[in-house]
Structure 1
Amino acid sequence: MSNLKAFRICEGHATEIPGSSVALERHLQTLIEANMETMLGIRFLASEYATGRHRGRIDSLGLDENGTPAIVEYKRAHDKSVITQALSYLSWLHDHHHEFECLVKEKLGTEAAEAIDWCSPRLICIAGDFTPHDAVALEVIGRRIDLVSYQTFGDVLTLQLVASVASATAPARGKASATTRTFSSASPKSVQQYLDESPQALQDLFADLDAMLLSHDVQKETQLHYMAYRRIKNVATVRVQPRNRMLVVNLKLDPDAVELEEGFSRDVRGLGCLGIKDGVEVRIRSREDLARASDLIRQSAEAG
């Protein structure tokens, strides 16, 4: 499905750099595991994790930027078994919440373990190529799966999201599953609840922002506290603040490369905010603000 080409430009002349697969599947796995947060937005937990009675080893286990468990499987070239293999490991994950939580606590700390979102664990299948039939199969399977193709061009590795199915259910934080969890009156409101309770003008403004973000060919997924818009990684997260009558958008941008405006945009590195934590936050109160933010949104989407 992927037909990515690369060219070396020398004095105005283009020479194609032939793409290739890695020599060994393990080389690809080792490289991505060492750079998983940079490449996939996933915090690495374990490699070749034994699944006991499932008689297998999960290539990579991780926790993504939204606090969702992630299983990553690799194939050096095209292999139709990669999706079914990942689904088999998803069955293990559903039966071993406590074991996974203990692993997260050991590697990332108690706070990360307590914030795990069990609503819709994520499967990432990385291979040299996929077929159109693979993409159609995702829709039938109905699970949250990303198909990511890779190629190497000399010392350059490319990753391309070729098909994806987003989570279709409401998020549920904590140890209980999405089908059994019940919320007490003390449970925090979800972003969808805040949106539903917002004045109509703010709902309309969100609809315009949502359309703008989706026009950049991203997936939308509703988390507990924010809407996430992503490709392989999040490119934007949106929170709704009815009391302040505004939308708070976090973008994956380098704050040092953006001209920040007081009251409109700010650097959120190190602030521990919800959503994208190391980029630029934009506050949108009107359609004029949305128009001002459009170029920043475009830059974030293109960078993603």
Structure 2
Amino acid sequence: MSGLKLFHTTNGVTEVTPHLAEAEADVQALVESAMEVMLGVRFLATEYSTGPVHGGRVDSLGLDENGAPVVVEFKRATDPGVLSQGLFYMAWLMDHRTEFQALVRERLGATAASQVLWSAPRLICVAGDFTRYDLHAVREHRRSIDLVRYRLYGEHHIALETVASVAGQAKAAPRPRRRGADAPAPERRASGAMAELAAAVDEVLLGLGEDVSKVRRKQYDAYQRLRNFACVTGRQDKLLVYLKAAPAAVDLVPGFTRDVTGLGHHGTGDLEVQVRSERDVERAVDLFRLSYAAA
């Protein structure tokens, strides 16, 4: 995986050789058993039948952290058909919204079913590797697509590497003084200095990497790679940014950072950063990067 080498250091140093699963079903079962931890997706169903017209089975269906529907396709090794197959099932999904919402209602409850984010459906392909044609194709497609390469190490370790990630909607270049319908959610609910502050946070978060995409919900804006790494919501006098960085790994500063583990809030993340000024944005950049790296 991009030259990564893993070594076991007990009783000397020995290299742990990466390998692929013996069968596609093995890696599928492993990821499905911990899909929320690995992919940030709540698992809904495996080998879901698309009925007699489409005549197929979706490897996995799920719902991501922001309520977006997710199709997950698995391949043991390199398969040039993984992307086209996944897009085929994405088309099925968009034509069967009522059926999908019924599945969500059955597994996760009525509230989750009523909040499915149909504006941002996702396809995640997990495979041993991808062709150069796959890497090019995702950048030309209008859907949100993540290509994730896996490797197994020994009997107890799996590594996942996102090799391509494209947002479903075009992402405009950062504009620090914008207003209006295309502004981030906190800015749409504010004006003046707070609107400018929201735009500054938006610029920093989008600028952390080319693989960053933004998902807009009514209550917050989520910034994600494969998983969310920041969620931003507004208050009258400040912005609250929730990060995936571990609070225990951070020196908490009263009035600036807070451990919100177990406390209800919009979005995801256990570290709350309170942003009241441009200076606070500068102070928070390292925390934003830490959370980005963990996503």
Mark yes or no: TM-score above 0.5: yes
Distance in structure 1 (CA, Å) of the matches to 2:3 and 2:116:
35
Distance in structure 2 (CA, Å) of the matches to 1:99 and 1:284:
41
Structure 2 residues without counterparts, runs of 5 or longer: 172-180
Aligned residue for 1:150, secondary structure, equals: strand
Instruction: Output aligned runs, 1:61-210, within 5 Å.
Output: 61-154=61-154, 155-168=156-169, 192=184, 194-196=186-188, 198-210=190-202
Residue in structure 1 matched with residue 244 of structure 2 by the alignment: 252
Q: Report the AA paired with residue 226 of structure 1.
A: Y
Checking the alignment, whether the CA contact within 8 Å between 2:43 and 2:60 is kept in structure 1 is: yes
CA-to-aligned-CA distance 1:161-217 (integer Å, 9 cap, x gap): 1111113179xxxxxxxxxxxxxxxxxx99746414633433433343233323432
Q: Normalising by structure 2, what TM-score?
A: 0.87
RMSD: 2.4
Would you say 1:283 and 2:274 are equivalent positions?
A: yes
**Which aligned segments of 4 or more residues in structure 1 are displaced greater than 6 angstroms?**
none
How far 1:24 moved relative to its partner?
0.7
How far 1:237 moved relative to its partner?
1.2
Checking the alignment, whether the CA contact within 8 Å between 1:119 and 1:169 is kept in structure 2 is: no
How far 1:239 moved relative to its partner?
1.8
Residue in structure 2 matched with residue 221 of structure 1 by the alignment: 214
How far 1:22 moved relative to its partner?
0.6
Distance in structure 1 (CA, Å) of the matches to 2:163 and 2:276:
35
Checking the alignment, whether the CA contact within 8 Å between 2:24 and 2:75 is kept in structure 1 is: yes
Distance in structure 2 (CA, Å) of the matches to 1:120 and 1:301:
20
Q: How many residues align?
A: 282
Checking the alignment, whether the CA contact within 8 Å between 2:242 and 2:271 is kept in structure 1 is: yes
Distance in structure 2 (CA, Å) of the matches to 1:168 and 1:4:
32
Distance in structure 1 (CA, Å) of the matches to 2:49 and 2:284:
46
Checking the alignment, whether the CA contact within 8 Å between 2:166 and 2:213 is kept in structure 1 is: no
How far 1:9 moved relative to its partner?
5.8
Q: Normalising by structure 1, what TM-score?
A: 0.85
Structure 1 residues without counterparts, runs of 5 or longer: 171-188
Residue in structure 1 matched with residue 289 of structure 2 by the alignment: 298
Distance in structure 2 (CA, Å) of the matches to 1:238 and 1:4:
35
Would the alpha carbon gap of residues 48 and 286 (structure 1) be closer, same or farther in structure 2, given more than 3 Å must change? Answer: same
% identical aligned pairs: 44
Question: Which of residues 213, 226, 230 is equivalent to 2:224?
Answer: 230
How far 1:227 moved relative to its partner?
2.2
CA-to-aligned-CA distance 1:232-268 (integer Å, 9 cap, x gap): 1111111233x22x22110002233333333222222
CA-to-aligned-CA distance 1:133-185 (integer Å, 9 cap, x gap): 21211122221111111111213211011111113179xxxxxxxxxxxxxxx
Checking the alignment, whether the CA contact within 8 Å between 1:238 and 1:275 is kept in structure 2 is: yes
Checking the alignment, whether the CA contact within 8 Å between 1:50 and 1:57 is kept in structure 2 is: yes
Aligned residue for 1:63, secondary structure, equals: strand
Would the alpha carbon gap of residues 282 and 301 (structure 1) be closer, same or farther in structure 2, given more than 3 Å must change? Answer: same
